[in-house]
Amino acid sequence: MKHLAVSVLALILAAPALAAAPQDQVPPRTLTVTGTGIAKAAPDEASFSTGVVSQGPTAGAALAANTKAMNAVIATLKRQGVPDKAIQTSNLSLNPQYQACKPNMACPQKIVGYEVANTVTVTIGLDKAGAALDALVASGANRVDGIGFAIHDEKPLLAEARAEAVKEAIAKAEAYAKSAGVSLGPILSIQEGGVSAPQPINMAMGYRLKAAAVPLEGGEEKLAATVSITWEIK
């Protein structure tokens, strides 16, 4: 009984200390800063849509003419070294063509023919794109749309942008800490805010292109990355 009484007394004395322990844990003061990094490089890849628009007196005739012309276009692309995986059909349409009416005069809608449009989206090395466009027009392509430029392997550029984002976040944090009269402690968390790249330039070159030298200037591509870092401050 004596030992039991001592044990109960010890628990009673320890209870206030145990209850007070969580209250003594003050959350650390923190500083969260966001940094943005931008990396630049010249594009090495071009993409565009190309194809043929054909007309005929009947749907069958228009489709047959278009099929023949598109086969020549695709064969030309392959001769230019474009692999099958870089050629994808993006549009195929068949539409009736109606008799034109004189201005301000009503006339019955009469089908006078049909139009077939077939286009493919092509990805090719930028250094080969100009010559490919010349060859396509010569082989019968009369539609080119959506010229865009990209970097084939973005991983090295993205790694550079991320590193720059972290450097900027650290520089900001050091400046804020110095101004506030505190010091940076350990990093508590790092979160990526995302990456972004410019959208392709959409440039409709339209129908009835003439075979001529096609100069393409890729300019410069930019990749941006953001990161948020939280430090404990002392």
Average pLDDT, the chain: 84
- Residues 140 and 207 sit within 8 Å (Cβ to Cβ): no
- Tell me the C-alpha distance between 154 and 160, whole Å: 10
Higher pLDDT, 194 or 68: 68
The pLDDT tens digits of the residues spanning 67-83 come to 999 999 999 999 999 99
Count how many domains the chain has: 1
- CA gap 49, 145 in Å, rounded: 5
Domain limits for position 58: 43-150
- CATH code at 86? 3.30.70.2970
CA-closest candidate to residue 113, choices 45, 169, 66: 66
Query: Is residue 186 situated within a structural domain?
Result: no
Round to whole Å and give the CA distance between 30 and 203. 49
Residue 140 lies in a domain: yes
Rounded distance between C-alpha atoms, residue 60 and residue 53, angstroms = 14
What pLDDT band is residue 215 in, cutting at 50, 70 and 90? low
Residue 8 has pLDDT above 50, yes or no: no
Assigned domain for 187 exists: no
At residue 79, the pLDDT reads 94
* Domain-located, residue 222: no
Q: Is residue 193 part of a domain?
A: no
